[in-house]
Amino acid sequence: MTSTDAVTRTALVTGASSGLGADIARELAADHRLLLGGRDASQLGALAAELPGAEQWRVDLTSATAVAEATARIDRLDVLVHSAGICELGSVDESDAGQWRRTFEANVFAVVELTRALLPALRAAGGHVVLINSGAGLRANPGWGSYAASKFALRAFGDALRQEEPGLRVTSVHPGRIDTPMQRAIVASEGATYNPRRFLAPATVARAVGNAVRTPADAHPTEIVLRPTGR
């Protein structure tokens, strides 16, 4: 997949099927050719139909073979947004090794492998890697051990990548809790009543991502922290 138009920038957004990833894709659609990463064909298809020129990019990110095959067709990439991830709650006593493995596989190992596979394409474009992290990547709370540990690891990965690849920009985004389907599932597991006003709107976080991506080249937005105001 070769970008021959020097004006058109290409962005790959993982987790674009729904929630924050879909809103990030909408935010970048105005000035980027989009590759929509995700597994749900119907949701990706609907989003692709909404965003002219966008393409579905259905890849199992936990399969190194699938990632290698899919990325081999991309020789230039301006923006890579890692928005896919999972969250399983439980105390250290309650969470078994399987939960920790699943969480790190989705939130860390898949991110690392996809980034590694796309480094030549990112270098060719002088590209930008955006890591959707979390407030849990800055502090750990009871019951959030495996998730927070994966996000701390993701932050360390971004810090290392930023220093190792000076030709790229690497931004870690640490939003507070966001009004998404995943959040509804988390609140249900907590046994609480869902109130969307308590959380950030996905479009707000997506706009912050868009602002980072569009920051002029003389600046490097390394870290963004967002907290909900309840308004």
Residue 189 included in any domain: yes
Residue 166: inside a domain: yes
H/E stretch holding 209? helix 202-213
Q: Which run of H or of E encompasses 71?
A: helix 64-71
pLDDT at 9: 96
194 annotated active-site: no
Residue 38 resides in a domain: yes
Residue 3, domain member (yes or no): no
Residue 45's H or E segment, with its range, is helix 41-50
Range of the domain at 202: 9-226
Give how far Cα 221 sits from Cα of 52, 120, 169, 173, Å.
Answer: 29, 22, 8, 10
Domain count, the chain: 1
* Cα 167 from Cα 84, distance rounded (Å): 25
64: in domain: yes
| Bridge pairing between strands 55-57 and 79-82 | unpaired
Tokens for 221? 């937005």
Do residues 107 and 85 lie in contact, with contact meaning Cβ atoms separated by under 8 Å? Answer: yes
pLDDT at 1: 42
**Distance, first Cα to last Cα, the chain:** 43
- Asked if residues 28 and 79 have their Cβ atoms less than 8 Å apart, the reply is yes
Quick check: helix, strand or coil at residue 34?
A: strand
Q: What is the largest CA-CA distance in the chain?
A: 54
**Residue 88: closest CA among 178, 157, 195, 185:** 185
Beta partners for residue 25, in sequence order: none
What was the pLDDT predicted at 2?
40
**pLDDT in 10s for each residue of the chain, 231 residues:** 443 344 589 999 999 998 999 999 999 999 999 999 998 899 999 999 999 999 999 999 999 999 999 999 999 999 999 999 999 999 999 999 999 999 999 999 999 999 999 999 999 999 999 999 999 999 999 999 999 999 999 999 999 999 999 999 999 999 998 988 888 888 888 888 888 888 999 999 999 999 999 999 999 999 999 999 977
Residue at 4: amino acid letter: T
* Confidence (pTM): 0.92
Residue 3 CA to residue 33 CA, distance in Å, equals 10
Which domain CATH number covers 97? Answer: 3.40.50.720
Dist CA 160 CA 186 (whole Å): 30
Measure the CA–CA gap between 108 and 111, rounded to whole angstroms: 5
Of 147, 152, 157, 199, the catalytic one is 147
pLDDT of residue 6: 42
Quote the pLDDT of residue 3.
38
Residue 205, in any domain of the structure: yes
- At what angle are helices 41-50 and 19-28 packed, to 10 degrees? 20
Q: Which helix (H) or strand (E) holds 224?
A: strand 223-226
**209: in domain:** yes
Task: Specify if 149 maps to a domain.
Answer: yes
**163: which residues sit within 8 A by CB, 6+ positions away?**
none
